[in-house]
Amino acid sequence: MSLVGFAKRELAVLEEDGDDMQKEMNNCILEIIETFSKQGHSGFSASYAMQIIERILRFKPVTPLTGEDDEWNVVDEDLEQNKRCPSVFRYNKDNKTAYNIDGKIFSEDGGETWYTCEDSHVSVTFPYTPEEPERVIIL
């Protein structure tokens, strides 16, 4: 079975309740899968492309952040935001003050829902590759 055929079958399961929003979403997803399928990737190149695509769709950089001055946008007089990873900030053009606001996520219901707060901030040292946040369950 082709990737497109597999996708159509799997996406049809999501449409069983007749939700118009789901049908529209399925059409959008199928369009992406059809484009990907036409590119003729092998197992290796498909895996590589999917890893890069996923990082980009999640606003994650594909190579480590360097902390160089050209990676930053001025947000406020003393605050800068990284252009390549919008969850990373620094103060006063000083990489020693860099932090990721999405470094930790918290749950108070056993992992059903998650939230961020000021305690989510983690220090950053360059070169830096943002990964999935640490999950903290508060009992």
**Global confidence as pTM:** 0.81
State the residue for tokens 């606003």: 59
Helix (H, G, I), strand (E, B) or coil at 122: strand
- The pLDDT-based confidence of 12 (bands split at 50, 70, 90) is very high
- Structural domain boundaries enclosing 24: 3-57
Same domain, 44 and 89: no
53 within domain boundaries? yes
Residue 62 maps to a domain: no
Q: Answer yes or no: is 64 within a domain.
A: no
Q: DSSP per residue over 24-44, as a string? A: HHHHHHHHHHHHHHHTT--HH
Give the total number of structural domains in the chain: 2
Q: 24 and 74: one domain?
A: no
- Measured distance CA(85)–CA(128) in Å, rounded: 10
pLDDT in tens, 103-131: 999 999 999 999 999 999 999 999 999 99
Query: Taking 80 as the threshold, does the pLDDT of residue 8 lie above it?
Result: yes
- Residues 6 or more apart whose CB falls under 8 angstroms from that of 92 comprise 78
Does residue 63 sit within a domain? no
CA 119 to chain centre: 20
